[in-house]
Amino acid sequence: MNEALLHTIWKYKLLQLNKFIGTKNEAIEIVSIGEHNQDSGPDFFNSKVKINELLLAGNVEIHVKTSDWLKHQHQFNKAYDNLILHVVYEHDVELEQNKQYNVSVLELKKYVKPKLLEQYHQLQVSKQKIACGQAINTVPSIIWNLWLDKLAVSRLESKTNYIEQLFKFAQHNFEETLYLLLFRSFGLKINDEAFELLAKHLGNSIIKKHIGNITQIEALLFGVAGFLEEPLQDAYAKDLQNEFEFLKHKYQLVTLQKKIWKFSKTRPSNFPTIRLAQLAQLLNQQTSLFHLIEKQPSIKEIKKFFNITPSFYWQTHYYFDSDEQKLSCKFGELSINNSIINTIVPFLFFIAQHTQQEFYIDYALNLLQALPSEENTKTKPYAQLGMDAKNAMESQAQIYLYDNYCLKKECLKCRVAEFLLKN
């Protein structure tokens, strides 16, 4: 037994009763459980309890044993003076403070069904990736769908925490923030920090001055990234070096070390050189991504914006001075979907938070619902249990569910476990 389980039992009324007998044979009726307090202080605020026909309103504290009150030193904290009920699983000691303030004690041990404890134990000891396993299929679709909706929003909120850091670096400039976020997304997980560092060393204002000249934009990207520092043989590479030498002096640019870029454990089509070449083409367009999404374009228009192919050299090379070969280096459908899911949608959500323009939230969620679901190691376990994600909004929710609940065995905070324990 632990307090988290007792909180769940109390919060979701898993006792299936509301009338009890206290430790002093007083009649106790739970009128309202109150508000669950996640911070310091009593566990539930504004509860309503009837003790022998006397209706009381106030706070409720929950412990495994009554003596935990002393262990947690609540007797020295005045925040616990205004209790109307002390709920415990096992009543093992009479407290002077309860006597002083005439606080009733409700022992739950005889009211908690053994089957509920057994089911909770099975969830905790389960070796499956999804602890509730096949039982997840018994959850009504309305409960499952509402839970996924909440989780999708929670995932977006968690992403905006990092965007807030970029926003501060960009001196509260929305367009510059999206510029940083776009670079980071092109690095995927393996090179995201390197791409972000590149964006911070090469401001959007500089790139804007060279739109329409792909050679200069590539020179800026590959030069600041550190790929043009060593002697190169290809004529194209030498042209970039010459171009960058001038631009580096003009803008007083600082180059990064080439060693920060990771090529191992990634497919050649995702080599940082290929991703830089793709990014160069994206930045070379007359309309910036920021000004595009301000108009709330359709999913088709966004995909058209990302429908890019790198310059000719990068259609036959994975890196400078490599052997020529025909490559498939177009920014594909999967990459476009990932850019919308991991860059545009979180950024729209971030704007909505800062500007109080809620239509951006609806637009962001509509984009997610218009995209196909993702397939990865985090969504696959749910699909194997018959809980396939129907779109990207649901797959994003499943990813958040897996990372923050299933992986950590936080079953007591999950709506699925709540339903299973109730039934």
Across residues 310-327, what is the average pLDDT? 90
In this structure, are 209 and 76 located in the same domain? no
The answer to the question of residue 302 being in a domain is: yes
Task: Return the pLDDT at 12.
Answer: 81
Assess if residue 365 is contained within a domain: no
Q: Which residue has the higher pLDDT, 96 or 366?
A: 366
Does 304 lie in the same domain as 185?
A: yes
Q: Please check whether residue 382 is in contact with residue 134, taking contact to mean a CB–CB distance below 8 angstroms.
A: no
Q: 40 and 183 in one domain?
A: no
Number of domains in the chain: 2
Say whether pLDDT at 155 is over 80.
yes
Residue 398 belongs to some domain of the structure: no
Asked which of 53-62, 98-107, 320-329, 345-354 is least confident by mean pLDDT, the reply is 320-329
Q: pLDDT higher for 121 or 25?
A: 25
pLDDT at 81: 83
Boundary-marking domain end, from 279, 302, 331 = 331
Percent of the chain with pLDDT over 90: 79
Q: What is the pLDDT of residue 302?
A: 97
The reported pLDDT for the residue numbered 57 is 94
Strand partners, 63: 88
**pLDDT-derived band at 349, boundaries 50, 70, 90:** very high
Which DSSP string do the residues of 239-263 spell out, in sequence order?
HHHHHHHHHHHHHT--PPPGGGS--
Q: Which of 331, 349, 383 is the last residue of a domain?
A: 331
In a shared domain, residues 78 and 8:
yes
Do residue 84 and residue 190 come from a single domain?
Answer: no
Sequence letter at residue 160: T
- The proportion of the chain whose per-residue pLDDT surpasses 70, expressed as a percent, equals 100
Whether the pLDDT of residue 423 is over 80: the answer is no
Statement to judge: residues 16 and 96 lie in one domain: yes
Of 378, 398, 381, the closest CA to residue 389 belongs to 398
**How many angstroms separate the CA atoms of 229 and 126, rounded?**
54
- Dihedral class, residue 298 (left if φ above 0, else alpha if ψ from -120 to 50, else beta): beta
**Domain stop point among 297, 312, 331:** 331
Asked whether residue 326 falls in the same domain as residue 177, the answer is yes
Model confidence, pTM: 0.83
76 DSSP assignment: G
Any domain includes 165: no
Residues 313 and 191 placed together within one structural domain of the fold: yes
pLDDT of 330 = 87
Residues 25 and 93 grouped into a single domain: yes
Instruction: Indicate whether 124 belongs to any domain.
Output: no
Residue among 278, 255, 121, 263 at smallest CA distance from 185? 278
Distance CA 361, CA 346 (A): 9
Which residues have a Cβ under 8 Å from the Cβ of 413 and sit 6 or more positions away? Answer: 405
Using the predicted structure, report yes or no on whether residue 122 has a pLDDT greater than 90.
no
**Selected residue with higher pLDDT from 118 and 176:** 176
Q: What is the pLDDT, as a whole number, of residue 184?
A: 97
Predicted local confidence at residue 83, as pLDDT: 92
Q: Give the residue-averaged pLDDT of 66-86.
A: 92
Domain coverage including residue 294: 170-331
Distances (CA, A) of 100 to 74, 83, 342: 14, 11, 57
pLDDT tens, position by position, 228-264: 999 999 999 999 999 999 999 999 999 999 999 999 9
387 is a domain residue:
no
The Cα 281–Cα 291 span in angstroms is 17
As a whole number of angstroms, the distance between CA 147 and CA 161 comes to 22
CA 402, CA 217: separation in Å to the nearest integer?
Answer: 40
Instruction: Give the residue from 362, 358, 361, 355 showing the smallest Cα distance to 174.
Output: 355
CB 367 within 8 A of CB 351: no
Q: Is 212 left (phi over 0), alpha (psi -120 to 50) or beta?
A: left
C-beta atoms surrounding 349 within 10 Å: 21
